[in-house]
Structure 1
Amino acid sequence: MQEKINNIINKNYKLLLFLICSCFFLLSTSYKILNPEFIDYLSPGDMETHWLGWLYFKDTPFFQFPLLANYSYGLENWSGTLIHTDSLPLMALIFRPFSAYLPNLFQYFGIWIYLCFLLQGFSSFYLMNLLLKDKVKSLLASCFFIIAPIFLWRLWGHYSLLAQGVILIAFYLYFLNDTKTRTWGYLLLFSALINAYLTGMIMLIFACYLLKINLSFKEFVIKFFKMILLLIGFMWVLGVFQTGTSFMAGGYGLYRMNINALINPTGDHWSTLLPELPSADYDHDGFAFLGVGVIILFILSASLFIKNRKHLTIKKEYVILLCLGLFCFIFALSDNITLGSKIIFSYETPYIFKVFTKTFRSSARFIWIPHYLIIICGLYLLNKYTSKKGFVIIALSLLLLQIYDSRKAFVHFAMKHSSPTEYWSGAVVNEKGLVRTKPLLENQPFKNKIWNKVTSKYNKFTYVIPKNRPGDYFEIAFLAARNKIQINFGYFARYSKKNEKIEKERLVYEINKGIFDKNAAYFFWNEELFNIAKLTKGEYDLIDEIDGYKILLPGFYDKK
């Protein structure tokens, strides 16, 4: 009977894995998000600006340079690329050729989430099958990766960071004995179209691979820097360096990991069995709770390892990964070491490392590498010191325990993605006090009929004075995007402060002189400049406060 079951699994493992990934996807989200016109789950939060980036990009020229330029979202002094709005460039490039045939408010993030579940499942299966050499065990092992809290946590909204399966692919390539350098290149370029943090982590694993294969120092340097140059060239084509936008920014030491992160079920969703431990402000990006099942797995496997350590030969490739895990753990802690709610130690990062700390300012995310190494190590050691039957019984028991322990998280995220209106009911969406009580399109503040004329008469919205992510930016930007109107503001992960200053000085000068763009509708949050505009406006200009927005509409009234 057991042999028959094994044969069925061995013949149909791909189908079974597909079904497992699909079941966990539905358990954690909702089939609704696969509908490209279902948009309510994208707001409020960072996802709304990721989606806005796509709404503007779909109307850009098909052939352009840089490839991901998004001029209408930010205009001269603010515009970046889809990378700067974290709008999943990979998916945008896939759907861009068909944009003329897509719904105006098309979203691809639901499809992406499903693909990430499949990526997580299949990449972890092939990785573990390489190590365990048993499809039944590997199928069971892959489930630990699919429901890893560190993976599911990204359902909060940074959907590009759900593609953690590419890290598992990198580990797979690491353990292969004959991986070609160009295969690493393909993986790195692929990850660059998703998120730079994934690229950075894969680059570290690639460096470890080069150490593993016993290259000379000269060969190591040549291969490593060839890959760096390839990435820089690719990012230049994509437009990462457009308009002088720096890929470096502050935040290192703030967006850090807490020492207790691996055992701390932060929030009230991640563990039924363990209590939440104290944490410090801004530790959220360092969420790395292993789950009760994996914690027990690691303790059990470590005990078996210690018991049998005399009979074990530790290979060089494992030592390299151990060093990688320790390095990433320390980097994730940053230069402000926190334990619980207190900073227990701080130090000054040497200047030579600033290029890394400013590029990867949210260093907490690098805990993903140690986190996945713990799962891999636990499963590998369990397999080494137990029989197949013992492995299956123990792993299955711990998996069920992990699912039970995380059940609140499944319910929480399922509600967020299936019933977002109910989920966000009563939540304040922006600083104007807009509350989410209705679907996204019905929850907009523009009630006056005058907006119909505004969106038909003007092709630009000018925010006075623009800044990165003004509090009410989404509602104005969303109105503009629905009507293909350019905007001089937005929300950008990176932007040029020099260009910000230029735009501010230009607007202040023009408003004081009464120089208004006849094609632009002006939205004021600066009270002083609004009062000046009342004095400098033209005879046929409208200046008023409508639906809570202070606006100036040049040439709104017809000349007599």
Structure 2
Amino acid sequence: MQKIKYKINNTYNKLNNSIIAYFIMGAVLGIIAFCGIYGVKVLNFTNVDWLMSAGDLTQHYIGWEFFRDSPWSFPIGMSNNYAYPIGVAIPYTDSIPLFALLFKLIEGILPQRFQYFGLWGIMCFALQGGIAAIIFKKYINNIMLVLVSTSFIIINPIMLRRMFNHTALASHFIILIALAIWVYKEKFTTAKSKVLVWTSVNIVAILIHPYFVPMTMTIMLGFIIDDFINFKKVKDGIMAIVTSIASIAVVFWIIGGFTGESAEAIGLGDFSMNINALFNPIGWSKFLTKDLPLAKFEQYEGFQYLGLGIIILIPICLILFIIRNRSNIKSIFTANSIKRFIEKYTPFFVVFIILFFMAVSNIITINSHVIFEYKFPKYVEIIFNIFRSTGRLFWPVTYIIIFALIIYTITRFKSKKSILAIMILLLVIQTADLSHKLIERRNYYNSDVKFDYILKSEFWDGVGENFEHIMLIPTYTNTYSHMSRLATDYNMTLNIGSFARGPDKQIGKIAAVTVGELKSGKSSDDTAYIIQSYNILEDIMRNSPKDMYTAVNIIGNVDNFFVLYSNKDFSIDKYKDDIEAYSSKDFVNINFENYIDELSELDDNIAIMISKKGGSLEAITKKELEQLKELGVKSDLSKISGKNYSSVILPRNSNNTVEKVESNNVEINMKPGKDLGGNILQRTIVLRSGEIKSEAYSNLLFNNVQYSMNREGLNIVVYDIKNDKVKNIASFKLKDNNEGNLMRCK
């Protein structure tokens, strides 16, 4: 028995003294947490549907797909087939350049559809746990306490909120690596080791996401100041800084980081951190159900919520501090004590001050109040505009606070059993506080998420086999995920995409030039043009040479996309049942009163979708108002000047009219399966009316395809619900006269 006990104790002591063992245990804990929250379906390399159906994730995955298909060139991070013909660099699709470059090296053996984002996610959790365990080991000499403490870091809200939302920004392990280097500073005493380790960390940071660079660089500065205070070494720190900056610049250049139009982005101060950030759950607490107010909506980017378990540690630490120092409380505030405290913690204060003022940027706010606002010098503003979502930059300080609270609490308790019980209880509270978000993620990522690919016709396979380029005009990105799948499946180029700071202006200018060419009858045989604006479609049809696009060229509606092409070798006979051909005769001028008369004669299956763009609608007559009222319009449209308006009218079921009139932006959102007057909706339909940056807009989106003419006044779509067909599209300015434009759909 004694021998067994001896062996157990001996094994425990070996584990307790091994950094590698702590790393492995922490990493295993991270992997278990990941699988418990996200499941294993996301780890399937060929499962991409969950990425194609999820906002930013779609941007990241599509960026990788185009990059893998693009031939190697310099800079090596360029996708020349995406944002064609300009091209876009992999950093601007947030596709995690580090993994994108690694997997492109073996692209030839990868399956047609391949994703590494699930692998990156589980790796983030493993490294988060492993590195956190190493940091805690430095101060806590107990395996169980280290593992419980590590669990707080693994299920940290600020990382969980980013995972599979903005996956690259969930790579918080790079912050922990930088902190671990600082914690174990005694292992990096030579100039060579300091330069090597910090340069490596900063290179990895830029290969993950540029936002991590100011964080790791600031932590490095804290390390250097600490090194100077303790060892009076200046040269080593300068070498580390210079080498890191040079390496970051070179690596960013190599991967194409300097190819974007401009590194500046509007919104400085909007995406900042509110001073209440550490205690503001913004929907992430099950118990603190009332969120604290924000001065700006965009301050969600400054999310730093600690979690209820960690928040409870704050008063516990204060009580422990008072108990520990109650007999000599006065000596703590002597000049010598304060001096020693400042000297000891100066590096941390520097890191805190730098990251705090970077995070709050030029607007200091608490709750909904702006405390102080100042203007940066122009050169500083340019730098800050590069990192406009400054609220993120406080993450390292949040981690330092969590580590400090946990370590201080544990090291002040003599009874390991008592503090272990307390920490487990706090971990249970922390987990329970976040449980609704954890369950939400588990349910979603363990479900069978399917991408609803809307290009149903075999016609699109013909496009893929006969054309080299897809060009969407104008460069709306509502449906880019569907066109991207077509393009990547057939190794075609695509002119649009979703980019962080891509060549959007250049792409827009090229599209505008192309419209002029199409109007004059010029089109490329190797390009399929997707016309996404009814204004442009009408302009081309009315102004191009007579019958140009019904004789030599083809224009038609396929799966609710208007396609124009001039490849004479592409026979459409086999697809003729899928194509609705159009000519200039389908675009007519019409009086509003006559149009309403037509609407009055429609059958029971019809819904009339209306969205207003700016305008005062002064020209509406009393007769027309009466006609609209009979159709089911409840508001007096002549009196909604300065307001936004959207409605869904069912002429034969006017009691079911859905109508919104507000000074603010309005939106009506209807999902498939909704009962509209006895007919079941088959598409997602979104109506919007409002203003963005002083520019009015009108949206009538059917499965993300824009049907609104988006012209001043009323934009109207008549939709056959039962047969899932758009009957006609119209717009009426109704300011000076009652004339408008109508497109009759086939």
TM-score, with length taken from structure 1: 0.88
Quote how far apart the aligned CAs of 1:553 are.
1.6
Residue type matched to 1:228 in 2? I
2:58 counterpart (39, 48, 51): 48
Residue type matched to 2:254 in 1? V
2:203 counterpart (189, 206, 212): 189
Instruction: Summarize the Cα distance change of 1:162–1:172 in structure 2 as closer, same or farther, 3 Å threshold.
Output: same
CA distance in structure 2 between the partners assigned to 1:352 and 1:513 by the alignment: 46
2:218–2:355: 8 Å Cα contact kept in structure 1? no
Offset from partner CA, 1:210-240 (integer Å, 9 cap, x none): 2222167777555423321221111111110
Q: Which residue of 2 aligns with 1:302?
A: 318
Quote how far apart the aligned CAs of 1:264 are.
1.4
Offset from partner CA, 1:498-540 (integer Å, 9 cap, x none): 5245424432332233221211111112333323433254643
Quote how far apart the aligned CAs of 1:81 are.
1.1
Q: Which has the larger displacement, 151-160 or 131-140?
A: 131-140
Quote how far apart the aligned CAs of 1:207 are.
1.6
In the alignment of these two chains, the number of paired residues is: 535
Instruction: Summarize the Cα distance change of 1:260–1:525 in structure 2 as closer, same or farther, 3 Å threshold.
Output: same
Residue type matched to 1:121 in 2? G
Quote how far apart the aligned CAs of 1:58 are.
1.3
Residue type matched to 2:307 in 1? G
Quote how far apart the aligned CAs of 1:163 are.
0.9
Q: Which residue of 1 aligns with 2:40?
A: 31
Q: Which residue of 1 aligns with 2:167?
A: 159
CA distance in structure 2 between the partners assigned to 1:558 and 1:479 by the alignment: 17
Q: Secondary structure at the match of 1:552?
A: strand
1:155–1:413: 8 Å Cα contact kept in structure 2? no
Q: Which residue of 2 aligns with 1:321?
A: 348
Q: Which residue of 1 aligns with 2:248?
A: 231
CA distance in structure 1 between the partners assigned to 2:289 and 2:354 by the alignment: 28
Higher strand share: 2
Q: Secondary structure at the match of 2:529?
A: strand
1:465–1:526: 8 Å Cα contact kept in structure 2? yes
1:523–1:552: 8 Å Cα contact kept in structure 2? yes
CA RMSD of aligned residues (A): 2.7
1:555 counterpart (547, 567, 571): 567
1:446 counterpart (455, 470, 488): 455
- 5+ long unaligned stretches in structure 1: 422-438
2:219 counterpart (177, 199, 205): 205
2:432 counterpart (391, 397, 404): 404
Quote how far apart the aligned CAs of 1:155 are.
2.6
Residue type matched to 1:282 in 2? E
CA distance in structure 2 between the partners assigned to 1:49 and 1:19 by the alignment: 30
Instruction: Summarize the Cα distance change of 1:95–1:156 in structure 2 as closer, same or farther, 3 Å threshold.
Output: closer
Matches within 5 A, 1:129-278: 129-175=137-183, 176-179=185-188, 180-214=194-228, 221=238, 223-242=240-259, 244-267=260-283, 269-273=284-288, 275-278=290-293
**Relative CO higher for 1 or 2, CA cutoff 8 Å, sep ≥ 6?**
1
Q: Which has the larger displacement, 47-56 or 6-15?
A: 6-15
1:454–1:521: 8 Å Cα contact kept in structure 2? yes
Q: Is 2:541 aligned against 1:525?
A: no
1:512–1:532: 8 Å Cα contact kept in structure 2? yes
Residue type matched to 1:240 in 2? G
Instruction: Summarize the Cα distance change of 1:17–1:384 in structure 2 as closer, same or farther, 3 Å threshold.
Output: closer
Residue type matched to 1:113 in 2? G
Offset from partner CA, 1:351-375 (integer Å, 9 cap, x none): 2312331111100101212210110
Q: Is 2:406 aligned against 1:379?
A: yes
Offset from partner CA, 1:270-326 (integer Å, 9 cap, x none): 333553333341122221110111111133223333553756753635222133223
1:335–1:346: 8 Å Cα contact kept in structure 2? yes
CA distance in structure 1 between the partners assigned to 2:221 and 2:350 by the alignment: 12
Q: Secondary structure at the match of 1:282?
A: helix
CA distance in structure 2 between the partners assigned to 1:251 and 1:303 by the alignment: 42
CA distance in structure 1 between the partners assigned to 2:37 and 2:411 by the alignment: 32
CA distance in structure 1 between the partners assigned to 2:485 and 2:375 by the alignment: 42
Q: Is 2:363 aligned against 1:349?
A: no
Instruction: Summarize the Cα distance change of 1:527–1:380 in structure 2 as closer, same or farther, 3 Å threshold.
Output: same
Quote how far apart the aligned CAs of 1:107 are.
0.9
2:483 counterpart (469, 476, 493): 476
Residue type matched to 1:90 in 2? L
Residue type matched to 2:438 in 1? F
Matches within 5 A, 1:485-496: 485-496=492-503
Higher helix share: 1
Quote how far apart the aligned CAs of 1:328 are.
1.7
Identity %: 27
Residue type matched to 2:250 in 1? G
1:541–1:557: 8 Å Cα contact kept in structure 2? no
Q: Is 2:117 aligned against 1:103?
A: no
Q: Is 2:550 aligned against 1:542?
A: no
1:148–1:290: 8 Å Cα contact kept in structure 2? yes
Instruction: Summarize the Cα distance change of 1:49–1:332 in structure 2 as closer, same or farther, 3 Å threshold.
Output: same
1:461–1:488: 8 Å Cα contact kept in structure 2? yes
Q: Which residue of 1 aligns with 2:127?
A: 119
Larger radius of gyration: 2
Quote how far apart the aligned CAs of 1:259 are.
2.3
Quote how far apart the aligned CAs of 1:558 are.
5.8
Q: Secondary structure at the match of 2:426?
A: helix
Matches within 5 A, 1:360-379: 360-379=387-406
